[in-house]
Amino acid sequence: MKKVTLFATVVAASMLAGGVTAYTIGQVASNDTRTYTPAAFGEQAGNHFTSYEADKYPDLTYAAENAVKGVVNIEVTKEVKSSRNSRFGGGGGFDPFFEFFGIPQGSFEQPQQPQQQRGGGSGVIISPDGYIVTNNHVVEDASEVKVTLNDNRTFTAKVIGTDPTTDVALVKIDATDLPNIPFGESDALRLGEWVLAIGSPYGLQSTVTAGIISAKARNLDIIPSQFRIESFIQTDAAVNPGNSGGALVNTRGELVGINTVIKSPTGSFAGYSFAVPTSIVKKVVVDLKEYGVVQRAMLGVTFQEINDAFIEQRGKETGINEKGGVYVVEVDPEGAAHAAGIRKGDVIIGIQELSIDNSSKLLEEIAKHRPNDKVTVKIKRGSDVKQMEVVLRNKSGNTGIVKSDVVAAIDALGGQFADISDRARKELKINGGVQVVAISGDGVLAQARIRTGYIITAINDRPVRSITDLNRITSKIESIDGIYPDGRAVSYSIVGK
């Protein structure tokens, strides 16, 4: 018990004293009178260290004092509906009793009463005329958005557009001549480079914390979207609730990321934070401003990163015994990759001039492009290396511009899905389908009271054999056909929106 207390005391001292603690650890002995300058320490540390040059160890005050002017506090109000079941005392939800007797599920519910819920985060001014980038999860479903500037002026903001797949959103306030933060190049960031995180953690507006780049191209599988694009910058700059949507800047005060998430067992900062890189943010905000919706380019493949787990599980089957690249598991027959000649079993090792050694890099590179953009994809097929010219397509399978009022079935349904296995196809005697694994929000699935496990085989009499098909259906959903895992075939007619 005493050892634990001692350790806690040492940690606290390190946090309070900062570099003093590190300097004390660096001394060789209490009676050693030598001076340990950074240069001398670097020379003794090893021959891979470069010589110390003072101008390459930057002061962070320039970046902090300038960039903080372009970071705002965002407060949102959301309307949350609640209802009570007047006959059975609350809850609502699905009840098989009503279904058996054909009684509509909502017949005993009192009208839903909207309640206000408040939340917030941070944002970054990216233009003098009031455009502000933040996270989708900060402003999603907001009925009102208030923005407070660094000089304490407050404005009502309009949401221009949101992108759940990257967790980026664009809002605008009616103002001019605002201080804004210029975009930097997140691709140029180096491991160990100093960065600052600026935002409003716990409502403490204009808080600045410092850290280094700990890693790049991190995939956490944390964005709640079927087509998430994750290639996070990882830093050890302290980020807490309220920092979401705030700025990650380099030592020149340039925006290199939007702080988005922390990885913590407590919900508060525990050593690492993650930001969406500007290589993705820039493309998203330009699309939202110009079209109101992101023009997402699709390669048209499902893939798996070739890492130790892949080699252990599929190495013998595929003949692959070295890490690196991504393995093409399936190719959409109507997609861009198939048209260019990419096939199942190929290994993607490069796009344009970028070497692809993990799935995050692939996602990030494709996310920079729009449908109809041409990219060079380098693949390995057996012992051969080939370069393919690929014309990227949109989620509907063509190269046109997607309009903001076009909603794909996968978004309108409101849920998460999985392609069914070959075994399930055989057991249920169906040609294919998409299984509902989760239901969220107030989408078509929730309205129709479809339950998880249901396998969608057709929408509007159009066959659904895979998740890709859900992306291609953009007409209003009027009917859904499918089957439950127990073999019950059920069709739903959709009334209303």
CB neighbour list of residue 260: distance below 8 Å, 6 or more residues apart:
135, 167, 232, 244, 245, 274, 275, 276
Q: Which residue from 495, 484, 496 is spatially nearest to 96, judged by alpha carbons?
A: 484
How far is residue 196 CA from its own chain's centroid?
Answer: 20
The amino acid at 454: Y
The tokens for 155 are: 């404005």
How far is residue 252 CA from its own chain's centroid?
Answer: 26
- Which residue's entry shows tokens 């407060």? 75
The amino acid at 138: V
Handedness of CA 349, 351, 352, 353 (dihedral sign): negative
Q: Residue 193 to residues 184, 213, 232, 250, 455: CA-CA distances in angstroms? A: 14, 5, 15, 8, 48
301-305 and 326-331: which strand pairing? Answer: antiparallel
Q: Which residue from 357, 358, 365 is spatially nearest to 392, judged by alpha carbons?
A: 365
Residues that are catalytic? 137, 167, 244
